[in-house]
Structure 1
Amino acid sequence: MKRCFKLIVEYDGTLFFGWQRQPKGATIQGELESALGHILNQKISIRGSGRTDAGVHALGQVAHFHAQTQMDPLVLKKGLNSFIKSAIVIRECSVEEDTFHAQYQARSKEYNYYILNRPDPLAIGDAYLWHLKKPLDLALMNQCCDFITGVHDFKSFENTGSPRTSSIREVFFAGVESFDAGAPFKKDLVVFKISASGFLKNMVRNIVGTLVDVGLKKNDPKKFEEILMARDRKLAGKTAPAKGLFLKQVNYS
């Protein structure tokens, strides 16, 4: 009898072509399916809570798969972490009800986007943040975050190629803050946090790019609100680099 396994996965997306399996290029899904197939001696198809793009990282991606095995989940977790030599770590492995689905049963997702806001670049850790030399006005950026909280049509922040039929999403929380993460960052880190019912293709990165325009005073909060309401991607800011984006966690009922 097949059992349903749930994984919580952490990964550094720098050298991967995103989550989804592709004919060419290493992906998170491909690496996991290869490792599981080797350990369990059967073909495994794994399903994630959603796709992350090339270069995007995860602290708490959730995935599930079915396998014909009586292996203990803890033993399987240890086996995967021992077998996978790339920047992927299984944080948790558990057996769930057969009906569990990592994507369809997800109720919300949380993302963090990190910005280094200082004149000098970073020698260590540059692969995990966007470096901006000029100071950002966080108060103005947070005024914009108030506009996107709630149920809205986020068409202005959706890149082409999204598989979704509707661009309406509910944002439960959005905000920008600075913090001292200790050496080597000191007080130069800025993080944008957002929690929502779901996300469109490049939605978080497009919001960040547009927020940065306001933070640099190239636009103002009123203009940001107009961009949101216009449902026109051409009016929004550039897509922020993938390297600063982290899928923090996926929440289930």
Structure 2
Amino acid sequence: MKRNIRLTIEYDGSRYQGWQRLGGDSNANTIQGKLESVLSKMTGENVNINGSGRTDAGVHAYGQVANFHTDCMMSVNEIKNYLTKYLPSDIGIVEVSEASERFHSRLNAKEKTYLYRIAIPGVSNVFERKYLWYFPETLDIKKMEEAALLLIGMHDFKGFSSIKKTKKSTVRTIYNIEIKKTKKEIQISYTGNGFLHNMVRILTGTLVEVGCGKIKPEDITKALESTKRSDAGITAPPQGLFLVSVEY
């Protein structure tokens, strides 16, 4: 019986085309592709790795979770040391552990938390510039929090995604949205049972448009009811987004 190995991974997505391996494009620069290449050399097997979610090009992770099956008998510490040695320096292995035979990092995920970071205008962020959205206007946090409350709960978030047609459900539950302002940035944290493609970035873009007065908090309800992409806000750029953690 093959072992099932679980990885917790952090990465700087700045120079990658996202998490997901891109079909037969051997030149595609993806996180999944880098991991599978190193794992296949380590095990002598054709390794396929499952990720908890497919982060977009330019998106980062503090706690992406993935798993793969192998006959390799290296210890979890040896696996971690090998990956640390041969992976690029912008992909790090936080933890390696044995998982149950049936564990699947995406299908078994119960809760995910994402963080989006927005720079405050006029404040220098030289060392964090690649990981923030430089939105040029001052944002009204209270209005953003008022709008965020309307997003919490179970809703059809089709209008807050880039999905055009799908047979799968677009209903998701957001448990919490927390907006925090520091001296240099605004941090928006989202926790839910799952997120659609580009959903966090569109939620962020919508809250930012509320914060700068372009749309009203109550327009959130209209966007949820219509499920039309045109009724939600802009899509925030990828560099400010981080996958923080996945719970099982």
Distance 1:53 1:92 in 2: 23
1:79 aligns with 2:75: no
With structure 1 as the length reference, what TM-score do the two structures score?
Answer: 0.93
Counterpart among 226, 230, 253 of residue 226 in structure 2: 230
CA positional deviation for 1:188: 2.0
Q: Does 1:114 align with 2:117?
A: yes
Deviation at 1:79, TM superposition (A): 0.7
201, 207, 220: which one aligns with 2:197 = 201
* Deviates further, 77-86 or 87-96: 77-86
After TM superposition, which residue ranges in structure 1, 4 or more long, deviate above 4 angstroms? Answer: 161-164
Sequence identity of aligned pairs in percent? 39
8 Å CA contact 1:210, 1:237 repeated in 2: yes
- RMSD of Structure 2 on Structure 1 (CA): 1.4
With 139-148 and 158-167 compared, the bigger mean Cα shift is at 158-167
Q: Tell me what 2:16 maps to.
A: 16
Amino acid corresponding to residue 171 of structure 2 in structure 1: I
Displacement of 1:43 in angstroms is: 1.2
Q: Structure 1 229/161 Cα, relative in aligned 2: closer, same or farther at 3 Å?
A: closer
Letter in 2 for 1:95: E
Alpha-carbon distance in 1 for matches of 2:101, 2:161: 34
Please list, as runs of the form range in 1=range in 2, the aligned pairs for 1:34-183 lying within 5 A after superposition: 34-120=37-123, 122-160=125-163, 165-179=168-182
Instruction: Kindly state the Cα deviation for residue 77 of structure 1 after the two structures are TM-superposed.
Output: 0.4
Q: Which amino acid aligns with 2:16?
A: F
Q: Is the 8 A contact 2:151 2:220 kept in 1?
A: no
Is 2:231 the partner of 1:245? no
Separation of aligned partners in 2, 1:102 and 1:161: 26
Structure 2 runs not aligned, ≥5 long: none
Q: CA deviation at 1:164?
A: 6.5
Q: CA deviation at 1:162?
A: 7.3
| Matched pairs, number | 245
1: CA distance between counterparts of 2:223 and 2:125? 32
3-state SS of 1:106 partner: coil
Give the Å deviation of 1:175: 2.1
Secondary structure in 1 matching 2:126: coil
**Relative to structure 1, is the Cα distance of residues 227 and 16 closer, same or farther in structure 2, using a 3 angstrom cutoff?**
same
Q: TM-score, normalised by structure 2?
A: 0.95
